[in-house]
Amino acid sequence: MASEFQETKKDDAPSGVSYVADHNKTMSVRKSRHLSMKNEPERRVSKKYAEEQAKAGPSAPPPAKKDRKSARSTSLIIAKAEDMRQRQIMLYEAGKDPEDRDYHTSAHSQPLEELMKSQNTKLGNDGPACKDGAAGIEIAEVEELAKVSGKNKITPPKKENIWLRLFRQIFTGIFNVLLWGTVGVEVFLIYTGNSNDIVTPIILASVVVAAGLLQWWTELKAESLMDALSGMQASAAVPTVRRSKNTRKDMMVEAEDLLPGDIVFLKAGDRIPADVRILACTDGMEVDNAALTGESIPEPRDPASAEKGSPPSQARNLAFYGTTVVKGNATAMVFFIGDKTFLGKIAASIKSARSKSTLEIQIEHFVHLIAVVAVVVGLASLICNVLDPQPHPIGYIIANAAGALFAQVPEGLIPTVTISLMIASQKMSACNVLVRKLDAVETLGCVSVVCSDKTGTLTKGDMTLRDMVFFKSKTEMEGMTDFSKTDPDDKKTLGSKMLRGSVRNNATVIDGSNKFIGSPTEVALMKAGVSSWGVKRVKDVMDQPTLYEIPFDSANKYMFVAEPYAEGGQLFSLKGAPERVLRFCKYVYVGSGDSGSIVEITPEIQQIIEQNCKTLMGQAKRVLGIAEKKANYDANYKWDGASMEYAKDNFLKDMVFVGLFGIQDPPKPGVKKAVEDCQDAGIKVIMITGDHPDTGVAIAKEISIIPNQDQLPKYTVITDKDLEGMVPSGETFEDGDSPEARKLEAFWKEVVVHARVFARVTPIHKQLIVQALQKWGGMQADGKAYGDIVAMTGDGVNDAPALKQANVGVAMGIRGTEVAKDAADIILLDDEFASIVVGIEQGRLSSENLQKSISYTLCSKVPQCVPNFMELAGIPLALNVSQVLAIDIGTDIWTAIAYAWQPKEDALMARKPRHPLVEKIVNVGVLFYAYFYMGMMQMCCCWFFYFTAPGIWSNVGKSNFTPEEEHTNKVASTLYYYTLVVGQISAAMATTTYHESLVKYMAPNHKLNICIVLEVLFALLIIFEPASEDIFQTTGLTLHQLLMPWVTFVGITVIEEIRKAMARKKAHAREVVHPDGGRPALQRRLLDAADSSSC
């Protein structure tokens, strides 16, 4: 059979497979699995047949004739499928693995003929236009090619059943299990008759279900990311040409049925149905890549092959899946479909589940800690009850142990955290910061690095005229940046002359007062004229008749206009690339624009012009030159009859150079200050851009991201070339001793410390940068890297992987694509970078207030728990489970939530960021403060006033009580409960500040003040209302008994003031230390204590 198969002609082999075999030698073992099929026909043996031969053994007889025929057919099918796979591998860059996470292809750099052959597709009789003759792929191959290539669809991620998720939110997790266990015990005690307290299990179950429902709903709202990606996929049928035995077949093919090698026809308004190579297009064809890149400026397309090794994302002969044709028509060849497209690669990188937020990790850590404490306390109570010499009924033992356990569980923690974050997010939305994922509020307060896109975030996102440079004297050129003093009627001032010449532009059309249509450069010049002179005067200039025009094109790189001159004759104006303009110039205006100021261009003047060009280019500005001259052609001159060559030789001869324009996408107002504010707060700002390094560096210097100096330290600026070979082969960085792991670690450890600008990066590079910062950044005082907490801004689909990877993804609300918004945790509604600083300060305040809230909640746990153990010593139960619930759910939860409105203390943004792994919200200091400091003071006061109840001492040691003794126990228990309420009020006031005195800080949080008043009223209701007395086992108190516990408030407050005074003497551990020893001059303009909604 092998010999029969060897009769296949070499010409039948897919062209280009030899290339695959050659570069296969350079690939790793892992990569070589994609290239197992070689070119030599003798090696094309059916794998299935080879396996059969191996099983049969060397002595096996040859297969029957029928079997040989069947095997041959199978071999041909397998070989054909493998050939088709090899065609697709030909589309990848040599030495690259098709399974790599980054996007790469050689389709843009391969010569057209070679590319068409490799895909077994064909051009038409009219060449790349493919409008005549048989073209495209062979219809006979479509079925097999479809099996190999699959559908042109992006594979959606698997989704968890929403009802299963709801069940998980409510019933799983150690905290929920603990709470449901407590409910179960309470229900069991009621069922067995050992308890008549039905309020506790109902309230507790309601709290757990409500918290689970809230979390479930929040997750559902944030799950539309892949739906938005799906919306970018083309759905309409696409005009396509295929061939059948050299016969042309024009057809409409559904977008999802397109195959590699298909030739499609695109027109303005069409969504690109796959990744395509432009074969032919009309002059000036443009595509809108905003859906992918977020860049608002349409990009031109050109069918010419790109330079080998150039990034495909920058190739002008490619168009990508999901983008749109905005101008012109094109014939294109499909080369990647579905998951292999640029959009598909991005989708693959965001399918993985988002990692837990810093708040989730901290709350989980806290819950585990509390769960351990609660279980230990409950077991201790159970053991003490069992070992007690005085026997107790089993119901009593279980109730006592459950009460001890229950007293340690902060039932209101989850709703308190959730509602507090919702309130903080509402305050942030008033400052144009929309929070999509609540826990991002706390994470934003921990951010240590902000990675920002350049265009549209740090800069305005549109080209702007920033400089006009002209000769002040023969030896010096001067610049003008304020164009408001120019006048279109001024014929002598060089600035006015330049600006008038720039707006004399027929390619730019004004649509309304603030809308412009045209190329970015011409729009920039037009906008400068409109902002200086107004629309009417600019239109007057534009409405001047045009006698002759040479429009701008990429070959000439200039534009020429001839118009009538008001004083007679004609005015010729020329603008374009400086070197092209200077080629036609013999003279230059010096000092003014009248004829007496014209001098001949000397080598010295030429050198000055070139030097100023370099200066402007060094500032990453696009530079244009402008020249003019006056002519005196006859009034009846036939301008239409002048050829292009004649115009170049005559009209453009001996022009007078006027000056240079510097055009740039400038930084937004306020960005420089916002960057400096971040740096003052100990936050590093990094620019990540797909732009040229020079452009990125120039903007970074202007907004203080990097120092304004010529020589920058190593690793300050990283480009795509620096990142070559520094991308891990897997999903992310891995620890290990392999040469690759050591090389990557050495490189990235330097980068995360020193890099401030990343330029010419791909979407996967952006995600990689974030991963590196999270792995090797965040060096702490102990010399250990805990990883930076990274906020990443972006607006395009290409930013989505990095937005999802970051601890906080920040999308632009105006410019941002739906995919970017869905991948983000926070959306800046005004697209202003300065709003991030607002968000960070609010995040820090939210974290601080959340810590205060939790600290306050935990203060009552010791006095709530101890009574269960004291009961074993014979002391009547001082606090029952219903009273614990009355404190935790009835009063504490609302007071804890009110902390969300707490104004900031001094120097909030003068501290270093709090790292959640080093300094958790619930740390040792918080636990010590709540349990061993405030909790112990409260407990001592509670027991003191408990034993002031008349006759209580005589009840100690008894197990059976008379009705009078029961009433005495109720009075003592009520005093204990009421004193604890007062103690919690003192804790509420004490925890409003860490160090600042209440005498200075006062009580600015009016909502907290209201909650404290309501707390007292609720306690009085429980004490005096008859129905409440039955539920909570309380009784009325005398006026003296109501007033005396307030000694607790006075005593705790005085002790706290002494502690805070001592703490203020010590330097704050997290203040940002500046070299000059001073405090950062951070001008904050947000979070007014008097108005929580003001920014």
10: helix, strand or coil: helix
CA distance 125 to 138: 16
CA distance 915 to 446: 6
Phi, psi of 599 (to 5 degrees): -130, 160
CA distance 907 to 911: 7
CA distance 392 to 194: 12
Residue 457 DSSP symbol: I
1056-1088 residues labelled b (16+ CB within 10 A) or e (exposed)? beeebeeeeeeeeeeebeeeeeeebebeeebbe
Alpha helices for 859-934 (secondary structure H)? 861-872, 881-885, 893-898, 924-927
CA atoms in the 13 A half-sphere facing the CB of 937: 24
CA 602, 603, 608, 612: dihedral to nearest 10 degrees? 110
Structure tokens at 825: 């945790």
CA distance 651 to 310: 39
CA distance 637 to 572: 15
Strands laid side by side in the 449-453 sheet: 433-435, 826-828, 808-812, 790-794, 449-453, 684-688, 757-759, 717-719
Pick from 522, 519, 451, 454: which is nearest to 694 by CA? 454
Residues 918, 1078: contact at Cβ < 8 Å?
no
CA distance 930 to 922: 10
Pick from 981, 985, 973: which is nearest to 1052 by CA? 985
Residues 441, 428: contact at Cβ < 8 Å?
yes
Q: Work out whether strand 808-812 and strand 826-828 pair parallel, antiparallel, or are unpaired.
A: parallel
Per the residue annotation, which of 97, 197, 439, 453 is the catalytic one? Answer: 453
Structure tokens at 950: 């008349």
Alpha helices for 619-663 (secondary structure H)? 644-646
CA distance 212 to 231: 31
Structure tokens at 971: 């009075």
Q: Which residues contact 636 (CB under 8 A, 6 or more apart)?
A: none
Residues composing the chain: 1095
Pick from 321, 441, 338: which is nearest to 798 by CA? 321
C-alpha pair distances (Å), 886 with each of 109, 427, 854, 864, 1022: 74, 30, 18, 12, 8
Identify whether 453 is a catalytic site residue: yes
Helix (H) or strand (E) holding 848: helix 834-858
C-alpha pair distances (Å), 86 with each of 75, 104, 297: 16, 16, 37
707-732 residues labelled b (16+ CB within 10 A) or e (exposed)? eeeeebeeebbbebebbeebbbeeee
Residues 1010, 891: contact at Cβ < 8 Å?
no
Q: Nearest 5 degrees, angle CA 266-CA 817-CA 355? A: 125
Long-range contacts (CB closer than 8 Å, 24 or more residues apart) made by 53-62: none
User: Catalytic site residues?
Assistant: 453
